[in-house]
Structure 1
């Protein structure tokens, strides 16, 4: 490694009346990000070093998970903490554009991990001397450039598409927020919901298909069925399609959902209160979107310390004021939001596919198949 890259440190002594911009590095080869400007007097006691375009930079704390980046012209004049190791590439034998993916997603990542002893996280600090002594096997410079050209082109397109799909998802969330905030009529949820727990006594020799709830508005989840004699609960609540289920413990972070047909006749524990819709007041599709609205979750957040040990009661949910227009207006809004969500879900699936494509390209690049 010492023949391929050379560690270069450029100490900076911060001036009190000057502003500086620090960099950070995302893991898994996701590049450099810029921190907010900071005054010199705020970093006067820190060890910081200047960054120059062309620097191959490793986070010595998270290099083992691909926190490697190549500084561009946009990083000129910026600084990094002592945790960022800046190397210059020996251009006679290596191309920095090849080395970057080689280290964050190719054979070089194993080299980094071998030089980063420890279990995980901050215990896996990159050992500079050990790293420098490691052997790497690189193709000739012409082949490196050929592979780098192909990877650059493909990765640029993947990055652009990924940003577009994620931006679409953010717009969907913003669209939902704007729609709900524009509704003039509000009312407590007690006008739309009724507590409706259909409790079943747990029988030791019976089997119960169990349902849970994801946080952050991601809906219900099927859990493994359990035998009655394998639980301490003495009763479960059976749920039906169209009902609303809430997690007492995590409602404040979006653990609420409308029951779909796939979850009908499954069971939840007493920690999950169940409600029925008042059908001449509330539309189930509208309620599904409303329960996924972060502003509603914020109203359910317990006050004080130890938030994660506090529970949201059914009474708290029913007393919560929400946008509740007429049924016809609910249906109109729900139709818009469902369409937007389908587009966002499609984009999310495509982001996963792009992530898989990215890994496939890296594998091909460093196995002679690109």
Structure 2
């Protein structure tokens, strides 16, 4: 039999400790992550640096709601690490009636994603940045309320699994750090004593202009920042391309976003990227056969030393103005050890990527455990009023 569901207003009440801001006082500030990830520490803020007249003072066990982002899971229970810190008045706080509900149980309930979706429907405003959730709308969410003993058992079960998930996540992150450190050591060994040559010699620019057919469609390629590879954009229709120039991408090309290369937006085109097109914002370079491999150059340019060279070749004071010019790209120097040594490192890197893929798959399965358990516990019972 299902547990009785009651509005959150029966177990949570507004509990706001608003303090007047002193211009000469420095306040330790907190923030609330989205997607049920809890609170975090922000930089301290001096009273003279804000236009707010009051802050909300936090204490352990309170529930904090972001009125602007609660609909995407920016709701949390105050932990000891954030007790005594401050949030703006956009974050109302609530106290739990422990005779009706255990705060840890309520905290787990508020991590259940369908509750965020319900708040999205209750929010008001125009556009995601203006949607707000009033305390009254928040408190109208319905929570299943089993006995206190059952709540304790649910919390114990979820806490145990969460601890195992954290342990596994930490192990995966440690393995990633170790793999990266070993790769960097191997790379340093590979480039030891190697001469530096300009990209114009090692991997010169190769532009393949596409003649636009108004009746054709063109599969477009994009490149993610921070070395996260390529992605596929929706097809472009020739009839819509009144001014834009397109260039063909082939497997093995080094593809650079000329406006985001400074933050690692370049990649090696793979088999699935072959034959796609990039806008004039994408620069393609082809390694000189027998002199360099694309993967080796990519790895170097993603190191702090190599990325520093890309950033120096991308002048400007703002994101959209930091453009990597063609001449500046070809002037960047990269180490060129014997090709056999590069291929040895590429094989090692490929094995590391394979292991990373396995870990990523494992991490995805691990991260799915808690949402699956929350679904099992709350599905069909956490309904909005």
The question of a shared fold, defined as TM-score above 0.5 by the shorter chain, is answered with: yes
1:286 to 296, 300, 308: 296
Cα deviation for residue 130 of structure 1 reads 4.2
Cα deviation for residue 361 of structure 1 reads 1.6
Cα deviation for residue 121 of structure 1 reads 4.0
2:93 to 74, 81, 86: 86
Between Structure 1 and Structure 2, how many residues are aligned? 369
Q: What is the match of residue 62 of structure 2?
A: 55
1:153-192 matched pairs, under 5 angstroms: 153-169=160-176, 172=179, 183=191, 185-192=195-202
1:362 to 365, 370, 374: 374
Q: Answer whether contact 2:244 2:280 (CA < 8 A) is retained.
A: no
d(CA) in 1 for partners of 2:163 and 2:83? 21
Which stretches in structure 2 are left out of the alignment for 5+ residues? 1-7
Q: 1:125-149: CA deviations, max 9, x gaps? A: 2212444466544233233222222
Q: 1:241-272: CA deviations, max 9, x gaps? A: 33323333433333322233333344444543
Cα deviation for residue 85 of structure 1 reads 2.2
Say if 2:315 is the partner of 1:315: no
Cα deviation for residue 317 of structure 1 reads 0.8
Cα deviation for residue 57 of structure 1 reads 2.0
d(CA) in 2 for partners of 1:202 and 1:335? 39
Structure 1 stretch displaced more, 125-134 or 200-209:
200-209
The 1:186–1:207 alpha-carbon spacing in structure 2 relative to 1, beyond 3 Å, is same
Q: Answer whether contact 2:115 2:141 (CA < 8 A) is retained.
A: no
Cα deviation for residue 163 of structure 1 reads 4.0
More contact order relative to length (CA 8 Å, sep ≥ 6) = 2
Q: Given the two structures, how large is their TM-score scaled by the length of structure 1?
A: 0.81
Q: Answer whether contact 2:72 2:117 (CA < 8 A) is retained.
A: no
Q: Given the two structures, how large is their TM-score scaled by the length of structure 2?
A: 0.78
2:269 to 251, 255, 259: 259
Q: What is the match of residue 138 of structure 1?
A: 145
Q: What is the match of residue 346 of structure 1?
A: 358
Q: Answer whether contact 1:46 1:81 (CA < 8 A) is retained.
A: no
Q: Answer whether contact 1:29 1:68 (CA < 8 A) is retained.
A: yes
Q: What is the match of residue 244 of structure 1?
A: 254
Q: 1:212-269: CA deviations, max 9, x gaps? A: 4333323333445566555447975444433323333433333322233333344444
Which stretches in structure 1 are left out of the alignment for 5+ residues? none
1:331 to 343, 346, 357: 343
Q: Answer whether contact 2:71 2:119 (CA < 8 A) is retained.
A: yes
Q: CA RMSD in A?
A: 3.7
d(CA) in 1 for partners of 2:81 and 2:61? 11
Say if 2:115 is the partner of 1:103: no
d(CA) in 2 for partners of 1:278 and 1:27? 46
d(CA) in 2 for partners of 1:251 and 1:123? 32
The 1:81–1:225 alpha-carbon spacing in structure 2 relative to 1, beyond 3 Å, is closer
Q: Answer whether contact 1:213 1:256 (CA < 8 A) is retained.
A: yes
d(CA) in 1 for partners of 2:364 and 2:113? 20
d(CA) in 2 for partners of 1:37 and 1:272? 40
Q: 1:270-294: CA deviations, max 9, x gaps? A: 5433322112321233123235446
The SS at the match of 2:156 is: helix
d(CA) in 1 for partners of 2:105 and 2:260? 46
